[in-house]
Chain A
Amino acid sequence: MKKKYLKFCNYTSQACGAFAVGALILSILVIVELVFERYFFQRAITWQTELVTILLVASTFIGSAYVLSEKAHVSMEWIYDFMSKKNIIKLKIFTSLLSLSFFLILFYFGFLMVEEAFTKNYTTGTIWDPPLWVPYSSMLIGSILMILQYIAEIIKLFDEKDFK
């Protein structure tokens, strides 16, 4: 069960990474198209900036789980130099729980945002005017992924040899 869960989280975080990379590559192409269209054809920009912004937000929220699994979120680990291995793991479990609580709150209020935008048919109110729940849901999905990933990280910390 535990193994299956860790494997599942590993798989999803890889998928998140792939999504974020894809979103960035797509953004580059859309921007090039935008500049081309305006500079050479003098056409007005309608959907490009908005789409790219949505992609950027999505790649940040969804890519974050991958970045967490790679331990690439910057932190001040200075204090670890003065602690025993066991205490470091204890502290890491504690700070992971703090982060987890943040993402649980973000998940709940993110859900409310998506729900409100969906049921009331909110749109972004621009020329392109996509429904607002689409960009909002990236924060919701991102927080779900972060919750799953943090649970996996905490399981891994409990399993470490130095902790037992």
Chain B
Amino acid sequence: MNQDQDKELGLALKRTLDPGDNRVFVSRVLARIDTAPMAPLFWDLLSSWARRGIPAAVMIAALTAFLLALPRQPAANLEDTLVGGTDGGASLFTSPGPPDAGPIANTP
């Protein structure tokens, strides 16, 4: 509430703009509400979903498009990735003896 209201002017304006009895007006609006469906919950729910859902959907679409547009590299071969010996990584699984830890142990 403000402290420096011009009370005289305020009262004169209030009288000038006075609409009279509010009961008829309130009844009229309530009658309109009665004929309208119980809209608040439905529309509020929908609009609150839309407020969050639309930006989220746009972000997901943009991220998906970005990922699809990235150049694809061929998947790395396990053989190439493992120790680059001539036997390749497969020898680890096929050799009857234990793996030789020498190359690692001798590394300075």
Report whether chain A binds chain B. Answer: no
